[in-house]
Amino acid sequence: MFGLIRFFTPIIGAERAHDWTLKLLRLIGAIPGSKFLMRKLYSVESPLLEREVFGLKFRNPVGLAAGFDRNGEVFREMNALGFGFVEIGTVTPMPQSGNPKPRVWRLDKDKAIINRIGLPSKGFERVVANVRRSHEGLIIGCNIGKNSITQSEEAPQDYLRVFRNLYQYVDYFTVNVSYNTTFKQYVPHTRESIISILEPLFDFRRGQNQYRPILLKISPDLSNESVDLMTDIMVETPLDGIVATNATVSHNNLKSSASTLKNVGSGAVSGLPLTKRSIEVVRRIYDRSNGTYPIIGVGGLMTPEDVEAMLEAGATLVQVYTGYVYNGANFPSQICRHLIEKAEKSK
């Protein structure tokens, strides 16, 4: 069934294919016993895969990256499909529709996706309604952002609003500051602007009984100096970790034809063109922070070997998005089997 959707993607478009996949997953998930079956088919369980990171126990280190389950509608199904955790979002305070369609394309020659989706979100209230039910043992992160109409100076209130309202319903938070100006989500990457967003979150957390780790998601397009600045912020504040990286706005070295790229226009590229840079950024963060902080490595992980390289560079956990779209539903289990094999060899 999912193969059929993939087959028709060139006709129906990448975003509609994605929407149909989510609908189908929800339909299947509603059938009694279906998640048990999915788990049997797609989940790999082993103590060798388990990780304890920022006080949370992950059954495997392979997560689903933000942007796939934006509103927390299919995380139970993704759990049954073998992911160790799911990052929902980006969730904004008010509902917003994002940029005009079409806004997501596959670049098959590049094993990439290009999007200028602009963070469509049903808003935190809808998301709360979705995530307040049982998580069925899955770790759920919530990626939070600001509405596009909110000016940068008022951004901290937006982040705090989503954070506060979802605090009791998810396991960790990722602060997304990594979208660029094209998407009107940009937050300047100065120490002051980042701290002004994080500080109210730390303050709110201090007054709570439960501790929720807070991570910062960064762009691969930051200069190395800015990556260092973000790492220093992590080391100097109660920030718990970094998610590196988001998609890139660079279109350099793409293999797709000039006419394809011209038709598509501006957008952020994910997938294979990102692999080298995201691993490089993770290694840089790891080295500068002496390996003492959790890093979630994401960006261009298209094969189990890419995941291995990301973990070797210093990532504690990984996330996939484009690699999942290209490899299909078996991808998390392929990665997990590869990691078990590696762990057994190094025993």
Ligand X SMILES: Cc1cc2nc3c(=O)[nH]c(=O)nc-3n(C[C@H](O)[C@H](O)[C@H](O)COP(=O)(O)O)c2cc1C
**Site residues for ligand X per CB under 6 A:** 65-67, 89-90, 104, 113, 115, 117, 119, 143, 176, 217, 246-247, 270-271, 274, 298-301, 320-323
Tokens of 66: 């933000």
Query: Which is nearest to 284 in space by CA: 211, 324, 209, 231?
Result: 231
CB of 14 to ligand X, least distance (A): 8
Looking at the Cβ atoms of 314 and 323, the one nearer to ligand X is 323
- Distance, in Å, from the CA atom of 340 to the CA atom of 218, rounded to the nearest integer, reads 29
- In terms of Cβ atoms closer than 10 Å to its own Cβ (0-12, 13-18, 19+), residue 100 is exposed
CB of 312 to ligand X, least distance (A): 17
CB of 143 to ligand X, least distance (A): 5
Helices 155-166 & 191-206 angle (0-180, nearest 10): 30
63 within 8 A of 319, measured Cβ to Cβ = yes
Looking at the Cβ atoms of 35 and 172, the one nearer to ligand X is 172
Which whole-number Å values give the CA distances from 200 to 155, 165, 205, 315, 345, in the listed order? Answer: 11, 14, 9, 27, 46
Looking at the Cβ atoms of 65 and 339, the one nearer to ligand X is 65
Residue 252 carries which side chain, given as an amino acid letter?
N
Looking at the Cβ atoms of 48 and 94, the one nearer to ligand X is 94
- Distance, in Å, from the CA atom of 133 to the CA atom of 73, rounded to the nearest integer, reads 11
CB of 33 to ligand X, least distance (A): 31
Looking at the Cβ atoms of 111 and 212, the one nearer to ligand X is 111
CB of 196 to ligand X, least distance (A): 19
Q: Which residue is nearest to ligand X (CB)?
A: 67
